[in-house]
Structure 1
Amino acid sequence: MILLNDPRVREVPVNDCGEQMVSVDGIDERIAVDRSRSEIASNYDRFCYARESVTGMLRRAVAFLPRDVDFLVKEIYRPYSRQVRSFEEGLEFYRESNPELNEEALRELACQYVAPPEVAGHPTGGAVDIVLIQDGKELDMGTKFNDEPVAPENLTYTDCPFIAPEQRANRQMLSRAMESAGFVNYPAE
């Protein structure tokens, strides 16, 4: 698995394409937005804004789901300042729970859970935190939303062998739909 702090990720050139940011709220009847924001740290009112191309990808992805399953968007856009704070909070959590580890090891642990600000997709409107819903209820994905990977089970890992078959099937359904539309899964979440 390649984490977002891998040097190969940082070496990818990034250019501003000038793409417009638009709300995903209301773009498709099968794409709901969690307006409660109860499970995200950002209180920014444009949390459901994405690059225009990402909204098109979401529309294509939802078409790959069974008709009775929909998307619930938790968060897309996150201000850079919030990304920095979230990463520092994650790093501090791992410092406190693993005082024996050096900074490099702590940073690697934190990168399993929070993208380092210099490569994070949320501040660009390109990363999507999303779950599946059926009849308005979230499907069981094996962990609570925004759960942290904890060794040795690492239940947040997409291909974790320690989750129930139904949870695995739900993860596979989500992954297939998103990947069919061009999204790339971050395997630690």
Structure 2
Amino acid sequence: MIKQFYETPIEFVYKTPSQEDINWLKANAKPMPIDQNFRIKSLHSYKELKLKGVLNKMYTRSALVLKLNQILECLPHNFSFIIFDAFRTIETQFDLFRYIYEQQKDLHPALSHEEIFVRTKEFVVHPDETSRYKIPPHNSGGAVDLTLAVDGKALNMGTDFDCVSDYSHTNWFEQNFSEGSGYTKEEWSDIRKNRRLLFNAMKHVGFVNYTAEWWHFTLGDCSWAITHDLDWYYPSLESELL
């Protein structure tokens, strides 16, 4: 199975969930803390950044944890997941937008407020913009940011988590190697292989990827529902936790 994941190019084409699949997601919708174990490590990145509204524990829905464990059963025992972020409060979503906006403002001082705002929205949902998502993906409990590790060391995915760059687009390294990119040909090949492994393993159990972020996957949220042209999706998880 792992060889197939490595060798299959990244394609954003997904199998439509059956009613049985949807019923399973509904039946496994309870909030669940992401506990540390030897194959799942929670970094709780936004708690480290001291963003507003971050809970002491990282939560998601039980369906996502069950699916992650299903993936791990397909991979060698020295593989594990590193979770950067999962459920977010609306307060955290606002503060993260502010954080990324200020980051982009510093990186691109010549851009106008409107240009920076649009660029920021490419990488983080603004909670007030309900035309895109009725429920921000992370607030639903149906989104998770993560990577794979081998023997506890994160695989090289080409960029850091939350890096606002074209290189963060999931299929960027499916292109032919580019001289002057800042990567060696060997690194480019390794990154392509690693991203394929993560993407195809997640896709195999029903997750959908946000194409601008190699680390962001959803299951049962608004983004997932839009991809599959479905009218069912998880509501906000916030009322169940707070």
With normalisation by structure 2, the TM-score equals: 0.60
2:44/2:85 contact within 8 Å kept: no
Please tell me the residue identity of whatever aligns with 1:170. Answer: N
Provide the C-alpha distance between the structure 1 equivalents of 2:122 and 2:141, rounded to a whole number of angstroms: 20
How big is the alpha-carbon RMSD for the aligned residues of Structure 1 and Structure 2? 2.7
| Residue 87 (structure 2) aligns with | 77
Question: CA 1:124/1:65 → structure 2, altered by over 3 Å: closer, same or farther?
Answer: same
Provide the C-alpha distance between the structure 1 equivalents of 2:66 and 2:75, rounded to a whole number of angstroms: 15
Task: Give CA-to-partner distance per residue, 1:58-83, whole Å, 9 cap, x none.
Answer: 22222333443211112111111010
1:178/1:184 contact within 8 Å kept: yes
1:39/1:145 contact within 8 Å kept: no
Please tell me the residue identity of whatever aligns with 2:211. Answer: P
2:196 maps to 1:172:
yes
SS where residue 141 of structure 1 aligns? coil
2:44 maps to 1:20:
no
| Residue 121 (structure 1) aligns with | 137
Percent of residue pairs bearing the same amino acid type: 28
Q: Which residue of the other structure, out of 139, 155, 161, is the alignment partner of 1:139?
A: 155
The aligned runs of 1:41-120 (5 Å cut-off) are 41=51, 43-46=54-57, 48-95=58-105, 97=108, 99-101=110-112, 103=114, 105-117=115-127, 118=130, 119=133, 120=136
SS where residue 167 of structure 2 aligns? coil
Q: Aligned-pair distance for 1:21?
A: 0.5
Residue ranges of structure 2 left out of the alignment (5+ in a row): 1-25, 174-180, 214-242
With normalisation by structure 1, the TM-score equals: 0.74
| Residue 6 (structure 1) aligns with | none
Residue ranges of structure 1 left out of the alignment (5+ in a row): 1-16
| Residue 170 (structure 2) aligns with | 158
SS where residue 63 of structure 1 aligns? helix
| Residue 185 (structure 1) aligns with | 209
SS where residue 208 of structure 2 aligns? coil
Question: CA 1:64/1:187 → structure 2, altered by over 3 Å: closer, same or farther?
Answer: farther
Question: CA 1:98/1:177 → structure 2, altered by over 3 Å: closer, same or farther?
Answer: same
Provide the C-alpha distance between the structure 2 equivalents of 1:178 and 1:107, rounded to a whole number of angstroms: 30
1:40/1:74 contact within 8 Å kept: no
SS where residue 149 of structure 2 aligns? strand
Higher mean alpha-carbon deviation, 51-60 vs 130-139, is at 51-60
User: Of Structure 1 and Structure 2, which has the larger fraction of its residues in helix?
Assistant: 2
SS where residue 158 of structure 1 aligns? coil
Question: CA 1:52/1:33 → structure 2, altered by over 3 Å: closer, same or farther?
Answer: same
> What is the total number of aligned residue pairs between the two structures?
166
Provide the C-alpha distance between the structure 1 equivalents of 2:104 and 2:44, rounded to a whole number of angstroms: 30
Please tell me the residue identity of whatever aligns with 1:148. Answer: V
Q: Aligned-pair distance for 1:183?
A: 0.8
Q: Aligned-pair distance for 1:165?
A: 0.7
1:159/1:187 contact within 8 Å kept: yes
Please tell me the residue identity of whatever aligns with 2:161. Answer: F
Q: Aligned-pair distance for 1:31?
A: 2.1
Please tell me the residue identity of whatever aligns with 1:30. Answer: R
